[in-house]
Amino acid sequence: MGAYVIDSRLFRDQFSTETARAIFSDENTVQKWMDVEAALARVQAELGIIPAEAAAEIARKSSVDLLDLDEMKREMDRTSHPIVPLLRQIKKICDGDAGEFVHWGATTQDIVDTGTMLQLREILDVIEADMRTLLGHVCDLAERYRSTTMVARSHGQHALPFTFGFKAAQWACEIDRDLERLAEMRPRVLVGQFSGAVGTLAAIKDQGVAVQKRLMQELGLGCPEIAWHTARDRIAEFVCTLAIATQTIGRIAHEIYALQKTEFAELEEPFSPGKVGSSTMPHKRNPPTCETIVAISKVVRGNAPLALEAMLAEHERDKIGLQVEREMIARTCCLVHAACAKAVGVVARLTVRPENMERNLWLQKGLLMSEPVMMALSDAFGRQEAHEMVYEVCMETFEHDAPLKERLLAHPVIGASLAESEIDAILDPHAYVGLAEHFVDETVERLRGRLARAA
């Protein structure tokens, strides 16, 4: 087993994805550093700062496949530095003196931070795509079950009837807000770094701003207004925004987990023959995928404070915060993408059991409908007086496990005020879902339009 689950051959796909691992692999990390160095050389050649032939040679040799990563690792251990070993290898593989012009005017953190931003953009593209897919599946649920009446619960107790489509529409709106947050943070967060040793671009002087702007254009990143070597709010915002989105996914998974409990049995995560719930209880149909998603959401939430801690950096350079980020960013992104991918699979093939939803509507023998009874009596007696009467009847009904209808008819005031047919109509949960279907229709139409525009 690996030292961490993401590296484990057995457990890695529970806590990460092949795509996310590839994005944050050593090979891709070093490739991103080389991409930045090559782009920097091209821009500086265009501006006449370094020879064009050198820039062309640097670009030709800017492939991680040409490097000896084992040797680079040994040099990193010896020098306690990540970029100097890279620069030495680039110099070694470049013809002529081209390697002398790599990293011109840059500092290590320029390359590392900008490379990280390229990786964050790459993983963000993947996460957003999966979240849009998830949103589409949740909209499908809302539309399909717009009129399927079920119990709404508050404080873990039966509250009133509404529809499963309404619940799914609420999930959809939250996912949509997460997508908005992810999109809105892009221009603030995906900003490159090229500022030189202490941020002043002193090594290339008057041409520094031109190099900076053209480099960021070349890489497709935002251009910083000033160096941000110790201003780590961008990384913190990225991690915290991902944490919020993962809490949404975790909340949905936890709701499915809760409604899969034997006593409810209203939802069930996808099941296929061969899926085993227990080594000793053959009957078990557990929700392991939802449990894993919820667990991931808790771990990701725990990473948000680490990102905020890393903001407390000293002076113009502080490796303490950078090392926190190095340990935490890739891990967070791998976890988040795993949660997204698993949620897509769960929602796309979610088992919905309307018959159990219907059964649970009548579990308390009419008590679910206390509000409409109260409202029916309010015109004649006032709302508060009606509440007192219905409360008294409901408490007696609960204690004696009797049908609410019987107690209402037996009550001297209520029984005289409402006919049996009126009580039957009032106690029908399907007739008291309010504007649930209206909100489902509006939500689905709006979000499908947004998904279509994003496609």
3-state secondary structure 234-255: HHHHHHHHHHHHHHHHHHHHHH
Q: Of 278, 400, 430, 438, which is the active-site residue?
A: 278
Phi, psi dihedral angles at 411 (to 5 degrees): -70, 130
Three-state secondary structure along 271-295?
CCCCCCCCCCCCCCCCCHHHHHHHH
Cβ atoms 87, 107 nearer than 8 A: no
Rounded CA separation 95/276 (Å): 59
Number of Cβ atoms within 10 Å of the Cβ of 416: 9
pLDDT recorded at residue 1? 56
pLDDT recorded at residue 241? 98
> What are the 10-residue block averages of pLDDT along the chain, 455 residues in total?
84 95 98 98 98 97 96 95 94 95 96 98 98 98 98 98 98 98 98 96 94 98 97 98 98 98 96 82 91 98 96 93 94 98 98 98 97 96 96 95 95 95 98 98 97 90
Cβ atoms 430, 440 nearer than 8 A: no
Element (DSSP H or E) covering residue 90: helix 83-93
pLDDT recorded at residue 115? 98
Q: Tens digits of per-residue pLDDT, 409-433?
A: 999 999 999 999 999 999 999 999 9
- Tokens 């947004």, located at residue: 450
Q: Is 278 a catalytic residue?
A: yes
CATH topology of domain 107-193+228-363+433-455: Fumarase C; Chain A, domain 2 (1.20.200)
Question: What does R_g of the chain's alpha carbons equal in angstroms?
Answer: 30
| 223 secondary structure, DSSP code | P
Give the residue among 182, 174, 196 at the shortest CA–CA distance from 125: 182
Give the residue among 145, 136, 125, 57 at the shortest CA–CA distance from 96: 57
- The 10 Å CB-count burial string (b at 16+, else e) for 153-188 is eeeeebebbbbbbbbbbbbbbbbbebbeebeebeee
We find that the CATH architecture of domain 367-426 is Orthogonal Bundle (1.10)
Query: Model-level pTM?
Result: 0.95
Q: Where are the domains of the chain?
A: 107-193+228-363+433-455, 367-426
Cα→Cα distances 107→40, 114, 187, 298, Å: 12, 11, 23, 36
Q: Tens digits of per-residue pLDDT, 304-340?
A: 999 999 999 999 999 999 999 999 999 999 999 999 9
Half-sphere exposure of 136 (CA within 13 A, CB side): 16
Q: Of 80, 154, 155, 279, which is the active-site residue?
A: 155
Give the residue among 264, 336, 258 at the shortest CA–CA distance from 290: 258
At 148, list the tokens: 């399927």
Rounded CA separation 344/325 (Å): 28
Residue 432's identity, in one-letter code, is Y
Name residues whose C-beta falls within 8 Å of residue 171's C-beta, 6 or more positions apart in sequence. Answer: 138, 142, 248, 252, 255
Rounded CA separation 339/293 (Å): 5
Q: Is 137 a catalytic residue?
A: no
